[in-house]
Amino acid sequence: MTTVTVRLESPTLLTGEQWRARRDAHRRRVDALIGPYLAARRRGLKHPVIDFLFTYYSSRPSHVLRWHPGYGVTLADAAEYLQLRGYESADGGVRVGAVYLRRRLDSIESTIALLRATASRPARLGCFGLHEWAMVYRTDETRHDIPLRLGREGTDRVVEQMPLRCTHFDAFRFFTGPARPLNENQLTRDTQIDHEQPGCLHATMDLYRHCFGLAPLLPAELTVDCFELALRARDLDMRASPYDLRDLGYEPVAIETPAGRAEYVRRQSAIAEAGTELRAQVLERCAHLAEIARRA
């Protein structure tokens, strides 16, 4: 994964040729990541793995496709950006305005608080992705129209034989009623900040949500960095799930076996390490934006 860090020390003016080159490179990168998926989506086809990053997060492909320079960068010859939220004419070009930045200060500060709390804790790597199993425990209803790899009884047995250690409220809230008391902690929205930790795949996927939620204040390159990592996390999330996705090309990570659990932890650890780097970048930019907004 290629990461991009864009500093905020002083406003930058990009010529039309410069920013269009960056925009086009951005679109090529997104197309390399999900071009076939987007083409299938336009034909009305569903994908149980990638759809999550758009449906669950109430995101749209435009959130990852559209290029933004980020706050502090002025674009020359960019009148079309005046049609987008947050932009204004200034200094002979177009840029994200200070009024819009001040308006988003509360969201920026809440993001900072959550990311700092997450980053302050060690990564916990022993959950084995059992949240997906807990969502179908002792019920005939599933979240996807896909068969369970071990069947109903086999799936329930895995949940009963392994500890549930979910730390992410937005996963825990989808546990079935019988599964919730089995979790190590009873999570709530109010205590979310007390439990988030960097080993959690969903906490890492949420970095993408933070980025597109604060657009156009953050540069699109950082958003795609986080989206690319979210794709990796979601891939592992579903390979380790109880669903049989082999017809779609996803070989399972069989967390019901010692070898599968070891594989899960290896992959989870690599994702957590990449997430730590990106979380630091998002946090640095948000802290700088908050400082500018308070001064403005």
Q: What is the mean pLDDT of residues 44-55?
A: 93
Tokens of 212: 């597109």
Establish if 26 belongs to a structural domain: yes
Q: Where are the beta strands (DSSP E) in the chain?
A: 12-14, 73-75, 87-90, 93-96
Establish if 206 belongs to a structural domain: yes
Min mean pLDDT across 68-77, 100-109, 143-152 is at: 143-152
Q: What pLDDT is attached to residue 70?
A: 97
* Site of tokens 């953050």: 218
Q: What pLDDT is attached to residue 91?
A: 80
User: 85-106: per-residue pLDDT in tens?
Assistant: 999 998 889 999 999 999 999 9
Percent of the chain topping pLDDT 70: 96
Count of domains for the chain = 1
Q: Quick check: 35 pLDDT over 60?
A: yes
Q: Could you tell me which residues come within 8 angstroms of residue 275 by beta carbon, excluding any fewer than 6 positions away? A: 198, 203, 204, 207, 229, 233
Q: What pLDDT is attached to residue 8?
A: 47
Q: What pLDDT is attached to residue 64?
A: 94
Query: Which residue stretches of 94-148 are H helix?
Result: 98-103, 105-119, 131-134
Q: What pLDDT is attached to residue 11?
A: 62
Q: What pLDDT is attached to residue 68?
A: 97
Q: What pLDDT is attached to residue 146?
A: 92
Q: Quick check: 5 pLDDT over 80?
A: no
Distance of CA 174 to the CA centre of its chain: 18
Q: How far apart are the first and last CA of the chain?
A: 35
Q: What is the mean pLDDT of residues 151-166?
A: 97
Establish if 34 belongs to a structural domain: yes
Pairwise CA distance, residues 143 & 151, whole Å? 15
Q: What is the pTM of this model?
A: 0.93
Q: What pLDDT is attached to residue 158?
A: 98
Min mean pLDDT across 46-55, 95-104, 190-199 is at: 46-55
Find the domain containing 83 and state its range. Answer: 12-295
- Count of alpha carbons within 13 Å of 65, Cβ hemisphere only? 9
Pairwise CA distance, residues 237 & 223, whole Å? 20
Q: In what order do the strands lie in the sheet with 73-75?
A: 12-14, 73-75, 93-96, 87-90
Establish if 2 belongs to a structural domain: no
Q: What pLDDT is attached to residue 251?
A: 97
Q: Quick check: 132 pLDDT over 80?
A: yes
Report angle CA 221, 72, 76 to the nearest 5 degrees. Answer: 85
Q: What pLDDT is attached to residue 6?
A: 42
Pairwise CA distance, residues 4 & 7, whole Å? 10
Establish if 3 belongs to a structural domain: no
Length of the chain (residues):
296
Give SS3 for 22: helix
Q: What pLDDT is attached to residue 229?
A: 98
Establish if 4 belongs to a structural domain: no
Q: Quick check: 7 pLDDT over 50?
A: no
- Among residues 295, 177, 178, 278, which one has the least CA distance to residue 231? 278
Q: Quick check: 152 pLDDT over 90?
A: yes
Q: What is the mean pLDDT of residues 184-212?
A: 97
Neighbours of 23 (CB within 10 A): 18
- Among residues 117, 103, 124, which one has the least CA distance to residue 283? 117
- Higher pLDDT: 58 or 111? It is 111
Q: How far is CA 276 from CA 65, 135, 197, 255, in A?
A: 24, 27, 10, 24
Contact 213, 107 (CB under 8 A): yes
User: 225-282: per-residue pLDDT in tens?
Assistant: 999 999 999 999 999 999 999 999 999 999 999 999 999 999 999 999 999 999 999 9
Establish if 5 belongs to a structural domain: no
Beta pairing class for 73-75 and 12-14:
parallel
Q: What pLDDT is attached to residue 10?
A: 53
Q: What is the mean pLDDT of residues 100-121?
A: 98
**What type of residue sits at position 292?**
I
Establish if 204 belongs to a structural domain: yes
Q: How far is CA 218 from CA 8, 222, 264, in A?
A: 10, 7, 32
- Among residues 209, 205, 21, 196, which one has the least CA distance to residue 120? 196
